[in-house]
Amino acid sequence: MGDEVYLYYGGYARGHKVNRFEERQIGLVKMKQDRYVARTISGGTGELVTPLLRFHAETLLVNANAEGGMLRVEIRNDAGTPLQGFTFADCSPITADTIASPVTWAHPLNTVKDIRLAFQLEQASLFAFYLE
């Protein structure tokens, strides 16, 4: 529903299929889109680097919760060296709870290359990223 995912489940008072026609309930879990699993840094700063990706996009979006912290992204070449203009220092930090926040640097994205994305997290959770 919109930016939420609804998951319905069944629960039993005494375990799975014990008196299965009695004492059972149906429940509903609501969560934000694509938030099944996260990489979370709760103390200090951490970094997550992707394997080599074929980058053919104009926009990088992140699904993250960085309230009270921050998330930055760096673009690196196949050898792991940061690309000029796309370092952590060039990246505008993301400091909100968002399901599709665009990542911005000093320069616009308009490249087709084999690259690695490096995510720098501080008191933040990264759920997903999207290339458009």
Amino acid at 111: T
Q: Which of 10-24, 28-42, 90-104, 114-128 has the lowest mean pLDDT?
A: 10-24
Residue among 57, 51, 67, 69 nearest 102 (CA): 57
Q: Is the pLDDT of residue 65 over 70?
A: yes
Say if residue 76 is in the same domain as residue 127. Answer: yes
| Cα(93)–Cα(122) distance, integer angstroms | 11
Q: 112 falls in which pLDDT band (50, 70, 90)?
A: low
Residue with more model confidence, 20 or 120: 120
For the chain, how many structural domains are there in total?
A: 2
- Which residue range forms the structural domain that includes residue 14? 1-33
Residue among 84, 76, 73 nearest 119 (CA): 73
Question: What are the tokens at 60?
Answer: 């990088």
Q: What pLDDT score does 117 carry? A: 96
Residue with more model confidence, 95 or 37: 95
Say if residue 80 is in the same domain as residue 28. Answer: no
* Average pLDDT score over residue span 107-125: 89
CB-based contact 94:64 (threshold 8 Å)? yes
Say if residue 120 is in the same domain as residue 63. Answer: yes
Say if residue 48 is in the same domain as residue 15. Answer: no
